[in-house]
Chains A and B, each alone.
Chain A
Amino acid sequence: MKRQTIQASNVLAILVVFGFLGCEPVENPSVAPQSSPSGQMVSARTPSTSIAPSRPQRLPNRTPQTILIASFNIQAFGEEKVKDPWVMERIVSVIQLFDIVAIQEVRAKDQTLIPRLLSQVNARGARYDYLIGPRLGRSVSKEQYAYIFDTTKVVTSLDASYTIEDGADLLHREPLVARFVTRVPPNIRPFTFSLVNIHTDPDEVKQELPVMHSVLKGIREFEYLSAREDDVILMGDLNASPKQFGTLAQMPGIYWTVDDEPTNTIRKSTYDNIIFDRGLTNEYTGRSGVLDLCDIFAIKTEEAVRISDHLPIWAEFTVIEQSTVENSQFVGLNGPTERR
């Protein structure tokens, strides 16, 4: 199986993106400070002896007509978790529920962690592969973004993946962008889309969120100019609820899948989201949600936090590219807008 690791030499410098970033204000004093989660909410459910997850009502089945995309901050995913079979079996089970999982918080110098996770995901014949970005962050503990995806449902390539270059140094961990194409029969137009994997620094949400609309706008423009791609989906741990989105929430057509439902495991705060232009990305079926680890594994919260302090979030899309109305926001970027 081909290993897809983004080396520093392969990271594309997208100056057009950062031309936009550099022009934006850095401060937004109106953003409320983050509160820290505290306390424990313990589920009354009886723990199950089986690790096979019971599919929650709201999570649709995987079908040939749709793809399920998830984002999962696997809190400090490192050697300690990889060597814990109880945790790993459940992380593997979560990944197998989806066609693509955008992962945050891979924390290890050892670059075999994701391959070891993948080998467990594929142990029973599944055909997932992965993409992983460079180690990022300002503190001693660096993190990597990764994508794990089912190659029977989607394809990507190293050439279509990059870590954005934050020339103005506005972000703690620069997003990892990856373009995907669904696998469909030859006479059907596949859904093509770009995912943007992000994890903000909880202490610098006030600095990072106000530039997030510029990050998304810059990536969207770059993706459109370079690949005629207009389906750009920002997903990850923003450490903020939509109430704190500010200018990001004011972008025309912007849509987020998690409004006020908590996404941390103790069910206190909304940190994670999946964000896109619903007018352009009308492949979205309207189905999305937060996957409750306590529900799917019938475990208590105090056990679920062993897996992660975040819950996976997900959204469903069709595998077929849908036609969209001409979108004025791309007119003028490169002549008349022409949909792929």
Chain B
Amino acid sequence: MTDTKQLIEYAQHPELALQNLAELLALLESNDETIQNYSSEALENCGPPRPEDIPFLCQQLKSRKSSSVYWASTLLGRLGSGTLSTTEVTDLQASLTTAIADTSLELSARERAAWAICELGQEVSSNRDLLEKELQMAAPRLKRFIESALALGQKK
């Protein structure tokens, strides 16, 4: 069981947070507000994930928990463009698009998934139809991100 002091350490030392991503995502569900706050703080400060954590984060995109999807999307989006192979990004786009379309998730998590597609910077080649369908129903902020995602590769 992680105590608050440990979490504060994570918040102050990005490398520790990155070594404990699974734990931090789980702790976001804590009933203890202090635990929640410092878990969030650690995730805010930790920067992009390590390559070995990417499969775990992709798995988290399928979670039913909005906070897990929100932060998995955020961390994956921080990878930016050019870090992953085209195939890896295509796979990620599929998972992120599924999260965007999952209306059982909080809107903020779906928005962050769309933001991540934009950050990854590769033209959307999978689930494009699903994104275009979501575009018709999306709230304004989500719609802006989806529009930006669909425009990737068409701006040059």
| Chain A contacts to B: CB under 8 angstroms | 26-27, 33, 35-38, 75-76, 78-80, 107-110, 138-141, 168-170, 202-204, 207, 305-306, 309
Q: How far is the CA of A132 from the CA of B45 in the complex (A)?
A: 25
Majority secondary structure of chain A interface residues (helix, strand, loop or mixed): loop
Residues of B near A309 (CB, < 8 A) are: 11-12, 45
Contact of A75 among B39, B41, B46 (CB under 8 A): B41
**Whole-angstrom CA separation of A107 from B48 in the bound complex:** 24
- Residues of B at under 8 Å CB distance from A? 4, 8, 11-12, 14-15, 28, 33-34, 36-41, 44-48, 67, 70-71, 74, 77-78, 80, 108, 111-112, 115, 139-141, 144, 148
7 closest residue pairs by CB, A with B: A36-B47, A141-B40, A138-B108, A169-B141, A107-B37, A76-B41, A141-B37
- The total of Cβ contacts below 8 Å across the A-B interface reads 72
The CA of A207 and the CA of B140, in the complex, are separated in Å by 14
A169 CA to B141 CA in the complex, in Å? 6
Residue of B nearest to A27 (CB): B148
Question: What residues of A have a CB within 8 angstroms of the CB of B70 in the complex?
Answer: 138-139
Q: How far is the CB of B152 from chain A (nearest CB, A)?
A: 11
A140 and B67 form a contact (CB under 8 A): yes
Q: Chain B contacts of A138 at CB under 8 A?
A: 70, 108, 111-112
Are B40 and A140 closer than 8 Å at their CB atoms? yes
Whether B67 contacts A203 by the Cβ 8 Å rule is no
Q: How far does the alpha carbon of A75 sit from the alpha carbon of B71 in the complex, in Å?
A: 19
Q: In whole Å, how far is B17's beta carbon from the nearest beta carbon of chain A? A: 10
Tell whether, in the assembled complex, residue B78 and residue A203 are in contact, meaning their CB atoms are under 8 Å apart: yes
With the chains together, A305 CA to B141 CA distance in Å?
Answer: 35
Known: A35-B47, A202-B44, A203-B74. A80 touches B34 (CB 8 A): yes
**Inter-chain contacts of A107 with B (CB < 8 A):** 37
